[in-house]
Amino acid sequence: MANLLGNLTQQRLTESAVDSAEISTALFASENPQKNEHHALNYAIIVHCFFDGQKNLDDLNEFQLLAKSAQAEILTVITGSRSSPQAKYFVGQGKAEEIADAVKQYQADLILVNHTLTPAQARNLESLCDCRVVDRNGLILDIFAQRARSHEGKLQVELAQLKHLATRLVRRKTGLDQQKGAVGLRGPGETQLETDRRLIKVRINQLQNRLEKVAKQRNQNRQTRQKADIPTISLVGYTNAGKSTLFNLLTAANVYAADQLFATLDPTLRRLSLKDVGTTILADTVGFLRDLPHDLISAFKSTLQETTEAALLLHVVDCADPRKLENIEAVNQVLEEIGAQDVPRLLVYNKIDQLENVTPHIEYDEKHQPSAVYISANSADGLELLLEAIRVRLTDYILQFPLQLSPSEGKIRHALYELNCVEKEEISEYGEFLLSIRLEKTEWLKLVKRFPTLEAFNPI
């Protein structure tokens, strides 16, 4: 974040309202450079409030993992209980003073708050504690900025960061007025705060235009796969559930995988050949999290589009996590936000090697379709069962059947060839078209709706 506006202008940002030492969400912009020469971490104090009298430590533990993923060294954790957030400091006057005392005692560089703060609350807490304050959204954005590797990923992260930063510009004491030094041009001029807002707005428009071009390219590639009748399988799940490890196991790819939150960020597509299905595309997506910032969901819209257009979702679940049911619900909420709630999905319970008396197996629903598979991506136990479950689900998704058309049904024949789903064609002695069809179930339902006469041949 400290270098975001440096890409926009060469103006003297030392007097800027977006000075990195004050409001950057990047954790490495320390106010004490000499201190950080000896270590790559930021010394942080974590703040967490319990509301409604429920002291659930799981959210706090997850936030500590986020802080460690951002390379922050946790000095102490300060907790408190409130019925509702306070308007000025979020945590209350007494607790805010306790945090300020802890900053002095531990010589902390950073305060990490496991809640979403308003710009005023963050600014008030910074002034009281004389220390940078980063809320939950800012921490997640910082982790994404560290992990982005592809050009598209960097654009998406920068867009989300700028939207977050735009509401957090603060006025400095000096250097606000930018005056011209010529006759007729002297006066108050444009303040640096206004300049920063304008530059951020311009940069956001540039990034949105670039991402629109990327989205068009992704859409073209997606349409090409659809015309070639290549189904897409998308991996989704809570962060650190083992998606990238499973992706590497299925495709022999070399995607970075580690036991940390948001180990991988950039989406990856690989070919996967399945028996009775043929070539498919397996997509590895970014992990989901509770209260994922909406700016991130908006910025990653083109990437998450792969999920909404998938033929099957593999919902990877860490079955060793005591909060697995809550994690499943959190992922379902994000899928609903991006419009993928109706896409068929298969639950993949991963990490059974961390449980006792659990062996690889498949669970079936009332229609005798695979609904869940228990595996260990780390040891490859249950891989054959997973491939078999995917094959069954996609075999049901791909329809193969003969179709007979009269000579007068040329429009239907033309529509089938446009979909590239005709595998073989013969003409009978009566001039009828005898076709062998292979296409997706959704495309067939669209054809039936478009040409009602096809209902007589409905293979479903």
Name the binding residues: 237-244, 262-266, 284-287, 350-353
The answer to whether 132 and 126 are in contact (CB under 8 A) is: yes
Distance spanning both ends of the chain, measured CA to CA: 53
Residue ranges of alpha helices (H) inside 119-150 are: 119-129, 136-147
For residue 449, give the DSSP letter.
H
Tokens of 288: 């989901």
The answer to whether 258 and 240 are in contact (CB under 8 A) is: no
What gap in Å lies between CA 396 and CA 271, rounded to an integer? 20
Does residue 296 sit in helix, strand or coil? helix
Residue ranges of alpha helices (H) inside 284-323 are: 294-299, 301-308
166, burial (CB in 10 Å: exposed 0-12, middle 13-18, buried 19+): middle
Q: How crowded is residue 88: how many other Cβ atoms within 10 Å of its Cβ?
A: 14
The residue ranges of DSSP E strands in 65-181, in sequence order, are 72-82, 110-113, 132-134, 177-178
Q: Which residues are annotated as a binding site for GTP?
A: 237-244, 262-266, 284-287, 350-353
Q: Which residues are annotated as a binding site for Mg(2+)?
A: 244, 264
In 3D space, the residue among 307, 299, 258, 242 whose CA is nearest the CA of residue 281 turns out to be: 307
What CA–CA distances, in Å, run from 156 to 204, 206, 266, 305, 396? 10, 12, 10, 14, 36
The answer to whether 94 and 66 are in contact (CB under 8 A) is: no
